[in-house]
């Protein structure tokens, strides 16, 4: 790891470190009246029990749905925006890096992500997100093809189903080319890079635009003793890579963003216009003569909208950079972070595209 990476500070939820003008909420208080004030713009602090915050969020949902009853796409979007805005005014106090209420979860991120401050207020929904993330981090994510558990860092994409990993593993088993150098674009929690190590690749360059992904994989490299095999880089696509690789793999975001992309985990699911063109252009420069370019993708965008673009098919049809060598496809079995909102998942398939350079 280079010195720049040692200096990376993780992205973390905003906190309030000053005293604030807020209502303290206790169990016996009138939840509906408190919610009205919160919607008006007042901060509310959850006191006494952690579950008091959950009760308030239930009441907030109920109250907002009375106003936002329109079930159209735009109506639901407005409701979600209003919920997000108001719910972030619900705060919880942290003292000595632990939640200052009874019967609360133990969330190690409150210490790990805030080594510089011990007492603060943080929004309740952020705490809920941290709690879920901490449980995955502590428990670990079992990856059968690797025969080990990964510990995804806060704010990092990790797979909640494994069809694409099984597909990549299957293809790697048949791979007969050189295993000197590989590149993993968008390393996430490291799973594809670790598969490459397990299949005998000697050196892997792995990048990600998400700082937390890089910080998390750096910790995993120490734990798994893979430090000598994987060079991490926080940056866009091939970033500082100057070499040519025998194999380049990218499991990119699968959906074209219709909103302004945020930094961090948003970019695991959504891509901005132009990402694939830039990727293919750079991949062409960094692929060794007999190298393989592997993309893990899905028909998810087409499942949602039949006319949606497919950036890999578009590349093959419209440009002269690459040709198709192998195409593998498999049904999707479980629930994924990327598809949770879709009810048409039954037709979803995960795809593995292997391309080689055109002369």
Ligand X SMILES: C[S@@+](CC[C@H](N)C(=O)[O-])C[C@H]1O[C@@H](n2cnc3c(N)ncnc32)[C@H](O)[C@@H]1O
Residues that bind ligand X (CB under 6 A): 157, 159, 185-188, 191-192, 207-210, 213, 236-237, 251-253, 267-268, 275
The residue to which tokens 């109250």 are assigned = 63
State which residue, 90 or 189, has the beta carbon closest to ligand X: 189
Contacts of residue 60, defined as CB under 8 A and 6 or more positions apart, other chains included, come to 35, 38, 39, 83, 86, 87, 90
Q: Identify the CA nearest to 115 among candidates 133, 96, 130.
A: 96
C-beta separation of 245 from 207 below 8 A: no
Min separation Cβ 186 and ligand X, Å: 2
Q: Identify the CA nearest to 354 among candidates 258, 254, 283, 267.
A: 283
Task: Using DSSP bridges, classify how beta strands 90-95 and 120-123 pair: parallel, antiparallel or unpaired.
Answer: antiparallel
Q: Which residues, in sequence order, are bridge partners of residue 354?
A: 294, 326
State which residue, 157 or 241, has the beta carbon closest to ligand X: 157
Min separation Cβ 88 and ligand X, Å: 23
State which residue, 85 or 170, has the beta carbon closest to ligand X: 170
d(C-alpha 234, C-alpha 24), whole Å: 42
Min separation Cβ 141 and ligand X, Å: 10
Burial 58-86 (b: 16+ CB within 10 A, else e): ebbeebbeeebeeeeeeeeeebeebbeeb
Q: Measuring CA to CA, how many Å separate 249 from each of 109, 179, 198, 292, 352?
A: 31, 13, 15, 8, 10
State which residue, 97 or 209, has the beta carbon closest to ligand X: 209
Min separation Cβ 181 and ligand X, Å: 18
Task: Using DSSP bridges, classify how beta strands 141-143 and 148-150 pair: parallel, antiparallel or unpaired.
Answer: antiparallel
C-beta separation of 30 from 56 below 8 A: no
Burial class (CB in 10 A: 0-12, 13-18, 19+), 339: buried
Q: Identify the CA nearest to 105 among candidates 126, 77, 85, 134.
A: 134
Min separation Cβ 291 and ligand X, Å: 19
Min separation Cβ 223 and ligand X, Å: 18
State which residue, 122 or 217, has the beta carbon closest to ligand X: 217
Q: Measuring CA to CA, how many Å separate 130 from each of 86, 126, 275?
A: 19, 6, 30
Min separation Cβ 178 and ligand X, Å: 22
Min separation Cβ 222 and ligand X, Å: 19
Min separation Cβ 99 and ligand X, Å: 29
State which residue, 64 or 268, has the beta carbon closest to ligand X: 268
State which residue, 89 or 267, has the beta carbon closest to ligand X: 267
State which residue, 119 or 272, has the beta carbon closest to ligand X: 272
Question: Which residue has its beta carbon closest to ligand X?
Answer: 186
In the three-class reduction of DSSP (H, G, I as helix; E, B as strand; rest coil), residue 93 is classed as strand
């Amino acid at each position: 790891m280079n010195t720049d990476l040692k200096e990376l500070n993780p992205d973390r939820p905003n906190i309030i470190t000053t005293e604030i003008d807020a209502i303290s909420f206790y169990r016996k208080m009138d939840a509906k009246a408190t919610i009205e004030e919160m919607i008006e713009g007042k901060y509310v602090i959850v006191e006494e029990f952690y579950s008091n915050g959950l009760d308030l969020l239930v009441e907030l949902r109920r109250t907002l749905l009375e106003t936002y009853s329109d079930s159209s796409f735009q109506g639901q979007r407005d409701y979600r925006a209003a919920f997000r805005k108001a719910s972030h005014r619900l705060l919880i106090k942290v003292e000595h890096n632990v939640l200052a209420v009874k019967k609360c979860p133990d969330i190690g991120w409150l210490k790990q992500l805030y080594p510089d401050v011990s007492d603060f207020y943080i929004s309740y929904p952020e705490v809920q997100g941290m709690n879920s993330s901490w449980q995955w981090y502590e428990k670990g994510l079992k990856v059968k093809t690797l025969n080990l558990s990964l510990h995804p860092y806060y704010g990092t994409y990790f797979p909640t189903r494994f069809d694409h990993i099984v597909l990549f593993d299957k293809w790697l088993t048949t791979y007969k080319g050189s295993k000197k150098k590989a590149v993993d674009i968008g390393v996430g929690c490291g799973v594809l890079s670790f598969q490459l190590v397990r299949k005998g690749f000697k050196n892997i360059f792995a990048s990600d635009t998400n700082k937390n992904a890089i910080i998390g994989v750096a910790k995993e490299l120490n734990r798994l003793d893979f430090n000598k095999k994987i060079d991490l880089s926080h940056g866009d696509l091939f970033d500082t890579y100057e070499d040519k690789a025998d194999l380049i793999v990218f499991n990119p975001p699968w959906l074209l963003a219709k909103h302004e992309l945020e930094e961090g985990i948003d970019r695991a699911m959504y891509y901005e216009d132009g990402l694939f063109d830039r990727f293919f252009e750079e991949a062409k420069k960094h692929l060794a003569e007999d190298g393989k370019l592997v993309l893990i993708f899905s028909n998810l965008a087409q499942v949602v909208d039949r006319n949606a673009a497919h950036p890999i098919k578009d590349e093959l049809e419209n440009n002269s950079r690459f040709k198709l060598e192998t195409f593998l496809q498999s049904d999707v079995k479980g629930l994924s972070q990327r598809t949770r909102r879709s009810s048409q998942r039954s037709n979803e398939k995960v795809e593995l595209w292997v391309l080689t350079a055109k002369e």
